[in-house]
A and B are shown apart, each in its own frame.
Chain A
Amino acid sequence: MAKKEIVNTSTNNDRKMRIKDLIFAGAFGAIYIVVMLIVVMVTGMVPVLYLMNPLFVGIVCATIYELCVLKVHKFGAALILGILFAVTASSGYLPGMFLAIGIAVLAEVVLLIGKYKSKKFFLISYLVFNLNMVCPFTNLYFNKSSFIAMATEYYGEKYANGVAALATGWMPFAQMGLAVLGAGIGVLIASKLIRKHFEKAGIV
């Protein structure tokens, strides 16, 4: 990005979350969830692509996340986004939900290390944040028999067997790798788009 540091004097000293920031976080949460659902719905038809979703969501949604944290740049934006994600996307399996919230806290810690100023840390934090795309799948790894039973009932045996054959021991790690890779590609696009459109318009 062109500017190394964000110089936003009006709110820089204000470390408290104001109502304005809460509104931004909630609204970006809605955009993030809707876009994610569209991506998952389109790719979810094929078992292989369904399991590769962390990659696609990372690529598409990085811009939304970056814009959210750049717009608010205070403690809490990533956390609120993460909690909204956890409650809506992985509430079906409680350990997965708490894992997603934990990942959001980690992303927030990365932002904290960068003191909410360093653009590098804003970008890195999404690499952590996107790991939460693995959380909706935790049901599949830790509770496999019930997941397969459900997939059989809903989608038929072919689809269930397809997912079951793919969900072997190394799959969670592959998904985490895909999540980081997707987030990496995503933040490259995001930094490009933000420089091209939003910095010019004076939004961030």
Chain B
Amino acid sequence: MDLTFYGEETKGLISVDPRTKVLIFITSSLVCVSSFSDLGIALYSVVLCILFALCGKPMTALKAGIALGVVLFVRAVMGSSQGAPELIVMILTLVTTSFMFAFPPIMSVLLIIKTTRISHFLSAFQAMHIPVKAIVPAAVFFRFLPTVTDEWNGIRKAMAFRGISLSPVQVITHPWRTIEYVLIPMLFSSISVMEELAAATMARGMDVDVRRSSYEKVKLRAADYLLIVLFIALFALSVIVGEMVKNGAFL
């Protein structure tokens, strides 16, 4: 997964407002806990992939879509085949289920990270008169998720280079050592990134209690309203389908 720290949307066919993306994130995390069916989540995920492609990241959308298709196929095969070895079925169920469950929230977070510039994010929420103290932690939170995964990959490579493995056996036999070896470098390098980030924002005068002007044009366009309605409808649909499955409509 190649995560860039700064999102860009120049190649996108449509430009979606950050507020719409955050709403999509909220409905996505609600969908996976309130829908009880593969069908609802699959439909939701496909629409999410299409939106991803339209926002200028067709390759990511394609990869995610293919992975989703493979998982759905495996689940369909498992559902129809009887007498397969139980252990394999159990492991596959766990893996595919975790994938299905995590797909909508992860894709919507990626959508925010990959296609939104931080300045756009800040100015959009400032236009809603949300105080800076609430926006900045949220913006930094989204900005920092790829950093943490990046640091994690770096630490894993560095540990492998020094001959310290992160295999389950090692983790179980030396839990304290593992915590120290992974956490300390991660925190150290993250803290230096934070300090640089803080210095950069200070230099941009974010610390002054004056309303900031911005070059960003912030406006909800027709596409945004359409997406808001579409995703709320999809959420409602997947909940209704889920209720029907729960009450045994399809059994």
Mark A residues whose CB is within 8 Å of B: 17-20, 22-27, 29-31, 33-35, 41, 44-45, 59-60, 63-64, 67, 71, 80, 84, 88, 91-93, 139, 146, 149-150, 153-156, 158-159, 189, 193, 197-198, 201, 203
Contact = CB atoms under 8 A, between A and B. Distances in A.
Interface in B112-164: 132-133, 136-142, 144-145, 147-149, 152
A29 B30 contact: no
Interface size class of B (residues with CB under 8 A): 35 or more
Contacts of B142: 30
A23 B136 contact: yes
B140 A22 contact: yes
Interface in B1-46: 26, 29-30, 32-34, 36-37
B145 A30 contact: yes
A84 B149 contact: no
Given A45-B94, A150-B33, 11 more contacts: A23-B140, A27-B190, A29-B137, A60-B179, A91-B29, A92-B29, A92-B32, A93-B33, A154-B101, A156-B90, A158-B90
A23 B198 contact: yes
Contacts of A84: 137-138, 141
B233 interface: no
Interface string B76-101: 00000000000000100110011011
A188 to B, nearest CB: 10
A203 B149 CA distance: 22
B110 to A, nearest CB: 14
A203 B192 CA distance: 10
B91 to A, nearest CB: 9
B186 A31 contact: yes
B194 to A, nearest CB: 5
B187 interface: yes
Contact of B202 (A19, A25, A30, A139): A19
B229 interface: no
A19 B207 contact: yes
Interface of B: 26, 29-30, 32-34, 36-37, 90, 93-94, 97-98, 100-101, 132-133, 136-142, 144-145, 147-149, 152, 175-176, 179-180, 183-184, 186-188, 190-191, 193-194, 197-198, 201-202, 206-207, 245-246
A91 B26 contact: yes
B197 A27 contact: yes
Nearest to A34: B148
Contacts of A60: 179, 183
Interface of A is mostly: helix
B187 A156 contact: no
A59 B202 contact: no
B95 to A, nearest CB: 9
Contact of B194 (A23, A92, A150): A23
B141 A29 contact: yes
Contacts of A34: 145, 148-149, 152
A153 B97 CA distance: 9
A202 to B, nearest CB: 11
Contact of A20 (B147, B149, B198, B246): B198
A22 to B, nearest CB: 4
Contact of A59 (B30, B138, B179): B179
A146 B175 CA distance: 36
Given A193-B180, A203-B191, A22 B145 contact: no
Contacts of B176: 189
